[in-house]
Amino acid sequence: EAQVTQNPRYLITVTGKKLTVTCSQNMNHEYMSWYRQDPGLGLRQIYYSMNVEVTDKGDVPEGYKVSRKEKRNFPLILESPSPNQTSLYFCASSSRVRQPQHFGDGTRLSIL
């Protein structure tokens, strides 16, 4: 089954403790992206990747890092999480940027 898998689905952690949210897709997609969703603000893009080793900033990249060492994986790294990064995060992928995106089920992060 074609899917985008995010882990973990839920995480409660403390300020400053590095964490990684993994994202994997099994559709051989070139384009992958991370979004955060906050009440009243809709979906905002954090980072995107056009292909392996090609990443770029979205609208709200501050405090986040990403890497794209393999085509299927696009982890989101919070080196020193802060409470303002408490949010619902979605990973998405598409064959190319113009094509429909497939979204994961989301990861709810709470930073205390």
Partner 1 sequence: DAKTTQPNSMESNEEEPVHLPCNHSTISGTDYIHWYRQLPSQGPEYVIHGLTSNVNNRMASLAIAEDRKSSTLILHRATLRDAAVYYCILTSSGGSNYKLTFGKGTLLTVNP
Give the residues lining the site for partner 1 (CB under 8 A): 31, 33, 35, 40-45, 48, 50, 56-59, 90, 92, 97-98, 100-106
* Cα(47)–Cα(45) distance, integer angstroms: 6
- Cβ-based nearer residue to partner 1, 16 or 57: 57
Nearer Cβ to partner 1 (55/85) = 55
92: phi > 0 → left, psi -120 to 50 → alpha, else beta; which?
Answer: beta
Smaller CB separation from partner 1, 27 or 103: 103
Q: Which is nearer to partner 1, 12 or 41 (CB)?
A: 41
Chain centroid to CA 76: 5
CB 112 within 8 Å of CB 12 = yes
Specify the DSSP class assigned to residue 84.
G
Contact 104, 9 (CB under 8 A): no
Least distance to partner 1, CB of residue 20, Å = 19
Q: How far is the CB of 42 from partner 1 (least distance, A)?
A: 4
Q: How far is the CB of 17 from partner 1 (least distance, A)?
A: 26
